[in-house]
């Protein structure tokens, strides 16, 4: 059975808690991503900021220079690197999230999307070609 660590993206774009809302918006737009795990200097996951949350703040000039830590979601739903894909799938379905940070010992080690899981399941079911 596949695990989260086997299919996760390990090169995750993150942001620091003291970065600004404007920094986060620029990063999302330039990297074409929809969410940013917020990590402290030791790599510990401390929150997440999403495109949806930032959209709500985009026109409010009063918060553009606020630190991310004032607006991030602190109670982040995560999966462990050793979790089976069946468990990861259950979490996606139950909580209706778009992405799941993958942690090991509290430190961010990767990120999973619904697309990652579907792609892995499709690859597992693909017939082996022997020509």
Distance CA 68, CA 117 (A): 29
pTM score: 0.86
Mean pLDDT lowest among 45-49, 74-78, 114-118, 127-131: 127-131
Evaluate whether residue 27 is within a structural domain. yes
* 131: pLDDT strictly greater than 70: no
Q: Is the Cβ–Cβ distance between 109 and 8 less than 8 Å?
A: yes
Q: Is the Cβ–Cβ distance between 68 and 19 less than 8 Å?
A: yes
Give the count of domains, the chain: 1
pLDDT in tens, 3-18: 999 999 999 999 999 9
Burial class (CB in 10 A: 0-12, 13-18, 19+), 67: middle
Evaluate whether residue 48 is within a structural domain. yes
Evaluate whether residue 52 is within a structural domain. yes
CATH code, 58: 3.10.580.10
Query: Which residue range is the domain that position 72 belongs to?
Result: 4-125
Query: What is the per-residue pLDDT for 125?
Result: 67
pLDDT in tens, 36-88: 999 999 999 999 999 988 988 877 888 888 999 999 999 999 999 999 999 99
* Residue that wins the pLDDT comparison between 107 and 62: 107
Q: DSSP code of 7? A: H
Evaluate whether residue 131 is within a structural domain. no
């Amino acid at each position: 059975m596949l695990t989260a660590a086997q299919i996760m993206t390990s090169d995750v774009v993150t942001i620091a808690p003291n970065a600004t809302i404007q920094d986060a918006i620029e990063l999302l737009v330039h990297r074409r991503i929809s969410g940013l795990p917020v990590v402290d200097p030791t790599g510990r996951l401390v929150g997440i900021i999403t495109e949806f949350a930032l959209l709500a703040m985009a026109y409010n000039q009063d918060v553009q220079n606020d630190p991310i830590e004032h607006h991030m979601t602190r109670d982040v739903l995560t999966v462990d690197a050793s979790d089976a894909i069946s468990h990861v799938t259950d979490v996606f379905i139950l909580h209706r999230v778009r992405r799941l940070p993958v942690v090991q010992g509290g430190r961010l080690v990767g990120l999973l999307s619904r697309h990652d899981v579907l792609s892995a399941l499709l690859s597992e079911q693909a017939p082996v070609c022997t020509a």
